[in-house]
């Protein structure tokens, strides 16, 4: 009986306090102390609803969809270029640069020590005086030039040097592309960026094979010395005795000297955290035409990266008949074959060949002195200023390149022509 009396004793104060609380809440609403009704609903929403199913508002599928976050946006990829040349290549290099330029990318330009000092100074001056380059700051000239003999390891050393510069200059790129001044794009950068936007950014486009053929006897077994390692004037490599046996610690691969390499693989080649890149660099120091074997052998002897190798260099090159040592100089008669190859680049061209004018007109929509137009272009004259650098306007070139790349990536996915 005592407990019942105590419960009844507390009922009256509880009822009074509840009424007072309701009155205070109503008063504060009228005084504007609680600014909006939704804030009250927010507070009350923490309590479970006692409404029956008949009293709840209907729930539609569309309202459920709004609860999920939007799909992630695709980040536009970025490329890091090395464009290199030698004596007499200034104009060719400059044209290739402007045809391949995009403000999202990074560029390293190199004229080797065979080029006269005034050509290298003129290149640096042009970059400095180009308003767009000065504004964006993504074009870098190697002022302390290297000697490059092409058939020796100095070309590999120059490529690694450029990679190190690009890694130091910017952390914001996805693939490295090496071009010579004799190369030229067959697609716009918007075409290239659009095609690569949906790709796995660990993929490496590098032509390769372990079938050395005649190269086994003529390149792998001889020992050579590259004078470019210690002379300031260009001289051809020379052979020394004795010959050497093929290595047993790793398998040799060969292919094209032109590549599109992932940032991850470039970092591996530069840092070499398991010693393979350094070991192979020492081996290829005495190897004939080491640019056609070093990167291929590194990637195919490292299981983690071997599965990322796509067997193509994305170039159109018209080689001589076997042994395929020397590419033909392309002319206007080769334009149909270039286009139908669906490749991103072609080589090699003579300076200001009419084939380049046709490519500018028909494929790049570019005038001879200007940049290749893209979604980033703003200002008057066109492309004198950068608008939205992430705005892409892919054209027919993107369709051609996408067709080639999709076929290559699918083959690599199933391990076809991959490090064999």
365, part of any domain: yes
Q: Residue 273's domain spans which residues?
A: 79-414
CA 372 – CA 360 distance, rounded (Å): 8
pLDDT, residue 73, reads 57
pLDDT, residue 31, reads 38
Provide the mean pLDDT of the chain.
85
Among the residues of 197-320, which ranges form H helices?
A: 215, 263-271, 276-284, 294-300, 303-306
Is residue 199 exposed (0-12), middle (13-18) or buried (19+ Cβ within 10 Å)? Answer: middle
Residue 201 pLDDT > 70: yes
pLDDT, residue 286, reads 93
Residue 273 pLDDT > 50: yes
Helix (H, G, I), strand (E, B) or coil at 143: coil
Token pair in block for residue 230 = 């210690």
Lowest average pLDDT, out of 35-44, 175-184, 228-237, goes to: 35-44
CA 298 – CA 252 distance, rounded (Å): 9
21, part of any domain: no
pLDDT, residue 236, reads 86
209, part of any domain: yes
- Partners of 385 in beta bridges: 378
pLDDT, residue 69, reads 53
Higher pLDDT, 50 or 262: 262
CA 41 – CA 43 distance, rounded (Å): 5
117-135 pLDDT, tens digit per residue, is: 999 999 999 999 999 999 9
Residue 39 pLDDT > 50: no
Token pair in block for residue 170 = 């910017």
Quick one: average pLDDT of 44-57?
41
10, part of any domain: no
* Sheet hosting strand 315-317, strand order edge to edge: 184-185, 345-347, 315-317
Lowest average pLDDT, out of 70-79, 169-178, 186-195, 199-208, goes to: 70-79
Long-range contacts of 32-40 (CB under 8 A, 24+ apart): none
Higher pLDDT, 339 or 12: 339
Helix (H, G, I), strand (E, B) or coil at 317: strand
CA 202 – CA 107 distance, rounded (Å): 20
How far is the first Cα of the chain from the last one, in angstroms, to the nearest whole number? 94
pLDDT, residue 384, reads 93
Lowest average pLDDT, out of 31-40, 197-206, 236-245, goes to: 31-40
For residue 125, how many C-alpha atoms fall within 13 Å in the half-sphere facing its CB?
7
Quick one: average pLDDT of 28-41?
37
371, part of any domain: yes
pLDDT, residue 56, reads 44
188-198 pLDDT, tens digit per residue, is: 999 999 999 99
Quick one: average pLDDT of 57-68?
45
Into how many domains does the chain fold? 1
143-171 pLDDT, tens digit per residue, is: 899 999 888 899 999 999 999 999 999 98
373, part of any domain: yes
58, part of any domain: no
Quick one: average pLDDT of 181-208?
97
Q: How confident is the model at residue 58 (pLDDT cuts 50, 70, 90)?
A: very low
CA 55 – CA 48 distance, rounded (Å): 14
pLDDT, residue 323, reads 64
213, part of any domain: yes
């Amino acid at each position: 009986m005592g407990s019942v009396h105590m419960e009844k004793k507390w009922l009256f104060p509880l009822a009074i306090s509840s009424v007072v609380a309701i009155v205070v809440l109503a008063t504060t609403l009228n005084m504007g102390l609680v600014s909006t009704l939704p804030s009250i609903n927010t507070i009350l929403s923490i309590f479970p609803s006692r409404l029956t199913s008949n009293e709840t508002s209907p729930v539609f599928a569309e309202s459920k969809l709004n609860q999920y976050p939007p799909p992630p946006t695709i980040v536009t990829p970025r490329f890091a270029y090395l464009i290199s040349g030698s004596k007499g290549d200034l104009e060719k290099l400059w044209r290739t640069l402007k045809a391949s330029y995009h403000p999202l990318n990074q560029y390293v330009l190199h004229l080797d020590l065979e080029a006269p000092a005034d050509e290298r100074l003129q290149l640096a001056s042009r970059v400095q005086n180009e308003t767009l380059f000065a504004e964006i700051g993504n074009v870098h000239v190697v002022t302390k030039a290297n000697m490059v003999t092409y058939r020796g390891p100095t070309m590999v050393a120059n490529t690694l040097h450029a990679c190190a510069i690009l890694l130091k200059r910017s952390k914001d790129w996805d693939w490295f592309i090496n071009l010579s001044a004799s190369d030229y794009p067959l697609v716009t950068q918007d075409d290239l960026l659009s095609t690569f936007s949906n790709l796995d950014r660990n993929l490496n486009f590098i032509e390769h094979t372990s079938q050395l053929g005649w190269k086994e006897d003529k390149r792998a077994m001889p020992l050579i010395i590259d004078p470019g390692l210690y002379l300031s004037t260009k001289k051809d490599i020379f052979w020394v005795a004795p010959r050497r046996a093929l290595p047993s610690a790793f398998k040799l691969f060969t292919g094209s000297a032109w590549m599109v390499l992932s940032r991850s693989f470039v970092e591996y080649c530069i840092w070499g955290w398991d010693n393979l890149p350094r070991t192979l660099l020492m081996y290829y120091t005495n190897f004939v035409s080491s640019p056609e074997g070093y990167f291929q052998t590194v990637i195919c002897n490292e299981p983690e990266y071997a599965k990322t190798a796509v067997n193509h260099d994305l170039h159109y090159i018209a080689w001589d008949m076997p042994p395929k040592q020397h590419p033909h100089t392309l002319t206007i008669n080769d334009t149909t074959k270039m286009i139908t190859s669906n490749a991103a680049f072609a080589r090699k061209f003579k300076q200001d060949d009419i084939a380049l004018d046709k490519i500018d007109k028909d494929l790049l929509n570019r005038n001879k002195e200007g940049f290749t137009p893209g979604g980033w272009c703003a200002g008057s004259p066109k492309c004198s200023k950068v608008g939205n650098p992430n705005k892409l306007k892919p054209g027919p070139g993107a369709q051609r390149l996408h067709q080639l790349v999709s076929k290559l990536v699918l083959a690599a996915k199933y391990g076809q022509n991959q490090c064999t």
